[in-house]
Amino acid sequence: MQTEADYYALFEAYQRGELAAGARASLEARLGAEQRLGQLYAEYLDLTGTLNAYGERRRTRHTISALHEAMLAAEATPVVETTLTHSVNPLLRISRTERKLREFWSGHRATVGVAASVAVLAVFSTLLGLDVWRSANLPTTGLRELRLEVAQIVRSQKALSRKVDNRMGDVSAPPVRVNKFSGTGFALTADGYIVTSAHVIKGADSLLVEGRDHQRYHAETVYADRKHDLAILRIKDRDFKTFGRLPYTFKAGQADLGERVYTLGYPREDAVYGEGALSARSGYDGDTAFYQVSIPLNPGNSGGPLLDAQGNLIGVVSSRQDDVLGAAFATKSSYLVRLVDSLKNRQPEATYRLPHTNQLAGAGRPQQLKRLQDFVFVVRVYE
């Protein structure tokens, strides 16, 4: 039976890149599937990070102490004003420049020491400032939202200098809105309401929803719940009719620990399937509005549906934990159902007809995915 020391030695070899490809892949798979092993790895990272930081602080203090001792030694060493005469050695004598330097040092020793101290403090203040800046700007361990920043090159707008039929002057390029972020969304009702994560649509000037067949719809935000990371969109195209009958239902109660779960989302242009287990009935830092699931997710998965083996929708994918492999979080469907109920009272003109029949129960996973794909969308955010 392996002890914690054995696992720490394994983690150290993994961090140094000393594991063979097969052993490395096996460890990564176990970190994603075994919650206890993932916790041990997180504790190892925390411990080694603390030790490295402590060692760095000790080296810094040692450097400062050495500089301070050197300065004190320089101040304590008397300057011997030796007068050399030709009787000792006619070739040795103090030059005028050296004499001036000694006189300057004798008169300004304290000032020079203070200046040196200020210089040392300035150097270490600068290093401290850089460390604070890095802490504020670099990603830290914790939650990472799974909104995808679209990698595309945007050409700057320039005036078009061409003449049409030798009669038109300069023509300026029309303003272009950039597809800056994307996430996943899925149908809430058959008549055009869609669910996604609130952080996916943050800062959006306009929204475009794209289905598997590349049919696109313009959408608008109906409501965003930042606390629970939920947003409801509505398709506003006049020619939109219906999604058709939704094949899944929304679970109003709690899912069970250890249930097999899966999701479908768009971390890239094609739909990507992910499968795992419900590993905790609370989210990051014990937040009871979220589940923790052991599914490896990537930016672009935010807003995707989380379903159980029977095809009941139990959550909405939200984020992942950077320092624990395979630890992701999803808003519980019970909070989505409560949000819809509250919107019915706030917006009596809107119709939120949630599905009541599950067509996925009893079907194999490939058949479930075929039916599900028509109701899961890319949500494109334009600024």
pLDDT (0 to 100) of residue 198: 94
Please report whether residue 101 resides in a domain.
no
118 confidence band (pLDDT: 50, 70, 90): very low
Sequence-ordered list of residues with C-beta below 8 angstroms from that of 273, at least 6 positions apart, any chain: 262, 263, 264, 369
Sequence-ordered list of residues with C-beta below 8 angstroms from that of 262, at least 6 positions apart, any chain: 273, 274, 275, 276, 295, 306, 307, 309, 365
Please report whether residue 204 resides in a domain.
yes
Nearest to 147 by CA among 204, 220, 194: 204
With a pLDDT cut of 70, the percent of the chain lying above it is: 69
- Determine the distance from the C-alpha atom of residue 46 to the mean position of all C-alpha atoms in its chain, rounded to a whole number: 18
Given a cut of 50, whether residue 137 has pLDDT beyond it is no
pLDDT (0 to 100) of residue 84: 43
Q: Which of the residue ranges 66-80, 102-116, 246-260 has the most confident prediction, judged by mean pLDDT?
A: 246-260
135 confidence band (pLDDT: 50, 70, 90): very low
Question: What is the rounded average pLDDT for all residues in the chain?
Answer: 78
More confidently predicted of 229 and 155: 229
More confidently predicted of 266 and 156: 266
Q: How far apart are CA 263 and CA 272, in angstroms?
A: 8
Please report whether residue 199 resides in a domain.
yes
Mean pLDDT of all residues in 86-98: 53
We report the CATH number of the domain holding residue 291 as 2.40.10.120
Q: How many domains does the chain have?
A: 1
pLDDT (0 to 100) of residue 371: 95
| Token pair of 185 as six digits | 């969304």
**Least confident window among 180-189, 348-357, 367-376:** 348-357
With a pLDDT cut of 90, the percent of the chain lying above it is: 39
Given a cut of 70, whether residue 193 has pLDDT beyond it is yes
Please report whether residue 68 resides in a domain.
no
Q: What residues make up the domain containing 341? A: 145-383
Nearest to 330 by CA among 270, 268, 272, 276: 276
Given a cut of 80, whether residue 339 has pLDDT beyond it is yes
pLDDT (0 to 100) of residue 87: 44
Please report whether residue 336 resides in a domain.
yes
- For strands 148-149 and 179-187, give the pairing: antiparallel
More confidently predicted of 291 and 61: 291
**Least confident window among 31-45, 46-60, 246-260, 288-302:** 46-60
Please report whether residue 133 resides in a domain.
no
Please report whether residue 132 resides in a domain.
no
Q: How far apart are CA 204 and CA 294, in angstroms?
A: 30
314 confidence band (pLDDT: 50, 70, 90): very high
From start to end of the chain, where are the E strands? 143-145, 148-149, 159-160, 171-172, 179-187, 193-196, 206-210, 216-225, 230-235, 249-250, 260-265, 272-280, 290-293, 305-308, 312-321, 328-332, 376-382
**Least confident window among 97-101, 250-254, 276-280:** 97-101
Given a cut of 50, whether residue 211 has pLDDT beyond it is yes
Given a cut of 70, whether residue 105 has pLDDT beyond it is no
244 confidence band (pLDDT: 50, 70, 90): very high
Mean pLDDT of all residues in 336-365: 88
Please report whether residue 12 resides in a domain.
no
